[in-house]
Structures are given as structure tokens and as C-alpha cells.
Amino acid sequence: MKFTVTFKTPDALDYAIEDAANNDSGIEAIADDEEREDAKFALKMELKMFAEKWVRYGEYINVEFDTDAGTASVRPQ
């Protein structure tokens, strides 16, 4: 049997993207503060655009559970 649940996860995506940008070794290697901040901003925008396929309004995700297969999958929006 399959069933779908919509979860609202306010700020979770923003926190994850912020952590990813802060932990990117390529960005951290940039010496100039302004260039590093610009690179972080560009990476955050790229990650948000990528996640939009699965996360609606930056906070809603649909998870499909399949009891027969024993799986759970995030469904595209």
C-alpha cells in the first residue's frame, strides 16, 4: 500500500543550505571577504533552486510511503 504525507519544515532547508555553504572548502579558501560572501550567496541560490523540485515554498515536502516495498521517497512538487 502507498500513502503520501505532506510535511511542513519551516527553516529546515535554509539551515541546511547555510551549513552547506559554510562548510564548502572551495568557498572557505577564498581569501577576500567580499568575494567569499558573494560565492556563498551564489551557492545558496543554486542549492535553493535545485531543491525547488522537491520542496515547495521552501518548507513543504511530500513523502510517499510504500509499505509493500518498505520504502519512503520524497516526491517532486
Alpha-carbon gap, residue 26 to 29, rounded angstroms: 5
Where does 7-62 have alpha helices with state H? 12-22, 25-28, 33-51
Q: How many CB atoms lie within 10 A of CB 44?
A: 16
State how far the alpha carbon of 77 is from the alpha carbons of 4, 49, 57, 67, in Å. Answer: 12, 13, 10, 22
- Domain extent at residue 68: 2-75
What's the pLDDT tens digit per position in 14-41?
999 999 998 988 888 888 889 999 999 9
Total count of domains within the chain: 1
Output the pLDDT for position 25.
Answer: 83
pTM confidence score = 0.81
